[in-house]
A and B are shown apart, each in its own frame.
Chain A
Amino acid sequence: MSIPSANHQPHTAHRGAAQTPHDAWTEIRRMRDEGRLVAAFPEMCSLVARLDRDGRARAGALLAGLDHDSITAAHPEIPTLTTVVTGNGTSAALRAPLAAEFARHGLALRLTGHGHYFADLGDPQGAAFQTDTELTVCLLDTDAVTQELGAVWTVEDCERALGALASRVRTFATEHDRKGSGVLVLTTVALPTRISRQLVDHRSRARLGRAWREFNSTLLGLGVDLDRCVVIDLDTHLTDAVALDDARLRTYAKVGLSEPLLQRVAEEAAGVAGTLRGRVRKCLVVDLDGTLWDGILGDDGVDGVHAGGSGRGAAFAEFQKVIAQLGSQGVMLAVCSKNEEEQVRQALCGRPAVALGEEDFVAIAANWSPKDLNIVTLTQSLNIGTDSLVFVDDSAFEVGLVRRALPDVGVVELDDEPALHPERLLAGDWFTTLRLTEEDRSRAERYRAEARRTTFRAEFSSHQDYLAELDLEVGVFRPGTEDMARIAQMTQRTNQFNLTTIRMDTAQVAEYDGGADTAVWGIHSADRFGDHGIVGVLFLRTPGDGFVVVENALLSCRVFARGIEDAVLACLLRQAVAEGGRVAVGLYRPTRKNHGFADFYPRHGFRPDDGAQQAEAGDKPSWMPTEDSTVRRYRHDLSALPAVPAHVTMTTLPEGVFHDRRG
């Protein structure tokens, strides 16, 4: 049992407060003894998140034994992914590490499949092609190459074997991209010395090394070119001195990757799963003293704190660059520091800010309030959840406080060795996403524009007066190929205004848009302070009989409270009427986070649909099994239509609700 530390605050005393990894593991086993692992699955997940890698390796064996159906029955709100684990060897060895990593992300793992990649991925009827499969992880190891070789082989034989394997994997992955379901995660195959040293001359070894890397290059190319394929480059993990395999396990049990390496693969695969389920971190909150620079601003002054130059300063400069690099790819950066704000702003405009300046941060919280309170205020001003944040600090006290008070926040604990800061931060792989979009690259600028908007808003006595002066323009359009990744990302990242919370990948969005009776409408907006980019999406189905069904509607939290959603819905209904439509149906599926918009359809004149009407056209959402009873249906008879708000100028609209189909 964890003994609360001396500074433990009574109001946060709950079981999730286990501080050390060892405490968390003890607590998990206590829950096992009480038979509560399934009943308290969410609580157990937050304990797993406290474990270090060793701890998660221990917990994996226990978690892999839990019954998935009981977990989903007890916790329907826990996202579940149907996952195929497959490969050329004993792929089942990945199951325990994967169960632990899923739990760490608060996900439940439903395993399926045969276990061999010929059956699961090479057969069009295989598990990777079943419609409910959302993730397929295919482990390839060196045996996949060597089993193609005879007892005695030449480098030419090995080149042929690598070529044949590359071609097979490319065929499988391409077919999966075309017809498969969900995302395919592949691993590259490492070249161990036990193979290269079987060739006695250096020239042949060089040739083997080249051929092997060309093979891996082909695999990595699949991750570049295919929409539904992610390739994990094992070489990068092996540079962390993780063993490739264990000779005995490989020989006697056909397990081709060591347990620590399987754990790395599981971490990456669970990261992909988390992305698919909207478990995305969006904002990095950094401390300043001892984190971004050497010294204490309050004691040493702006000229007394250092980053850059040589020695420790160089290490802090390096860390600032890593943070700037994350910021350049759409991670929002914020400061949370116990200092005077004026002094912090001075320092961020001065010498200590080597790679990061005041303008790189979307928010600066510099004051003497407890950091957990500052973080909560930050999430409110950015309109994101605490589970979207990662907090970095070199103070064990602050780290402990935030861990206890805000268990959803990702926490990175640094120490007084700044050279280790970058790897400590990057080890968590917090911000990984499937595809980077233009929206990501310009996110920081958009939040700065938002700050200018806030200042502007303060000049008006009412929100309506502010909106009237905002020059808001909204355009609705059919997306092009270049927009699909952003729209898929919105389905994955948006949690609040996401009325049925259906997560999709790029290929699924394109498929939906090209469907015989389905279409995607993108929503774009701009105002006097700048272009917002794509801020919303409607997923529309027109099943016939004059019905249009809004199967999902999304709006970015950046543009809430401006009437954009009202304008777009009003335009849709008007256009439906103009084309002779009879009924509009809106779907809402409650989640933990979208309850703020439960009244969206009723607010616009939609009425709850009763059972008798469900037999009509437009009944079955195309993406949803009919037994999903959590979906609420609302219908509008298109008689009294809502108005487009006066402050919104509509710029573009698609040509038709019913008649603008793509082939």
Chain B
Amino acid sequence: MIDEAEFLELLDEELGLRVTPEDLTCDLDALEGWDSLHLLRLMSALESRTGRGVRLTDVIEATTLGQVLDAVVRDG
């Protein structure tokens, strides 16, 4: 399992993406430095970190980082 603080740390460590808790509800398209392909790297980073599989289809449908985190928590 992964909590919000760990998730933010992982975004920084694995993607070099510095985001605040407020950014988690921000639309991905409006998030500075975001590219949709980052989702793929984020997914594999999350799987390595949590040791559990993540559904890519859920991650791809997410429109905010918060929804990605929710999907990981839900799938996990």
Contact = CB atoms under 8 A, between A and B. Distances in A.
B40 A29 contact: no
Given A249-B56, A252-B56, A253-B60, A62 B40 contact: no
A436 B71 CA distance: 53
Given A64-B35, A92-B37, A252-B60, A259 B16 contact: no
Interface stretch (A53-61, A128-136, A208-216, A267-275): A53-61
Contact of B16 (A29, A252, A253): A29
Contact of A33 (B14, B18, B35): B18
A463 to B, nearest CB: 54
Interface string B12-23: 111111100000
A527 B17 CA distance: 60
User: Taking chain B's interface residues, is the majority helix, strand, or loop, or is none over half, making it mixed?
Assistant: helix
B16 to A, nearest CB: 3
Nearest to A37: B16
Nearest to B34: A65
A96 B16 contact: no
A28 B41 contact: no
Contacts of A246: 44
A58 B12 CA distance: 9
Given A29-B18, A32-B16, A61-B16, A252 B37 contact: no
Of the four ranges (under 10, 10 to 19, 20 to 34, 35 or more), the interface on chain A belongs to 20 to 34
B33 interface: yes
A246 B43 CA distance: 12
Interface string A157-170: 00000000000000
Contact of A253 (B15, B18, B56): B56
A62 B37 contact: no
Given A29-B16, A32-B18, A61 B60 contact: no
Which of B38, B40, B41, B60 has most chain A Cβ within 10 Å?
B40
A106 to B, nearest CB: 19
A29 B17 CA distance: 9
Interface string A223-240: 000000000000000000
Nearest to A96: B37
B15 A62 contact: yes
Contact of A93 (B13, B14, B33, B40): B40
Of the four ranges (under 10, 10 to 19, 20 to 34, 35 or more), the interface on chain B belongs to 10 to 19
Given A58-B13, A61-B35, A64-B35, A255 B40 contact: yes
B16 A28 contact: yes
Contacts of B38: 61
Contacts of B15: 58, 61-62
A477 B42 CA distance: 58
A636 interface: no
A95 interface: yes
Contacts of A194: none
A202 interface: no
A328 B15 CA distance: 42
A65 B31 CA distance: 12
Contacts of A62: 15-17, 33
Contacts of A252: 56-57, 60
Interface in A476-496: none
Nearest to B15: A61
A248 interface: yes
Contacts of B13: 58
Nearest to A249: B40
B54 to A, nearest CB: 9
A260 to B, nearest CB: 10
Contacts of A95: 37
A663 to B, nearest CB: 49
A248 B56 CA distance: 7
A52 B44 CA distance: 18
B16 A59 contact: yes
Interface string B35-60: 10110110010000000000011001
A95 to B, nearest CB: 7
Nearest to A90: B37
Interface string A586-619: 0000000000000000000000000000000000
A384 to B, nearest CB: 35
Given A93-B37, A95-B37, A259 B44 contact: yes
A55 to B, nearest CB: 10
Contacts of A58: 13-16
Nearest to B44: A259
Which of A29, A57, A61, A259 has most chain B Cβ within 10 Å?
A61
Contacts of A90: 37
Contact of B35 (A29, A65, A253, A255): A65
Which of B14, B33, B37, B56 has most chain A Cβ within 10 Å?
B37
A294 B37 CA distance: 48
B17 A259 contact: no
A29 B12 contact: yes
B55 to A, nearest CB: 9
Interface string B54-72: 0011001000000000000
A210 to B, nearest CB: 34
A64 B18 CA distance: 15
Contacts of A33: 18
A259 B12 contact: no
Nearest to B57: A252
A32 B13 CA distance: 12
Nearest to B54: A248
Interface string A58-77: 11011011000000000000
Contacts of A65: 33, 35
Interface in B1-25: 12-18
A376 B68 CA distance: 52
Contacts of A64: 35
A59 B38 CA distance: 12
Q: Which 3 interchain pairs have the tightest Cβ spacing? A: A62-B16, A61-B15, A248-B56
22 contacts: A28-B16, A29-B16, A57-B41, A58-B13, A58-B16, A59-B16, A61-B15, A61-B38, A62-B16, A65-B33, A90-B37, A92-B37, A96-B41, A246-B44, A248-B56, A249-B56, A252-B56, A252-B57, A252-B60, A253-B40, A253-B60, A259-B40
Given A96-B35, A259-B40, 17 more contacts: A57-B41, A58-B16, A61-B17, A61-B38, A62-B15, A62-B16, A62-B17, A62-B33, A93-B37, A93-B40, A248-B56, A249-B56, A252-B56, A252-B57, A253-B56, A253-B60, A255-B40
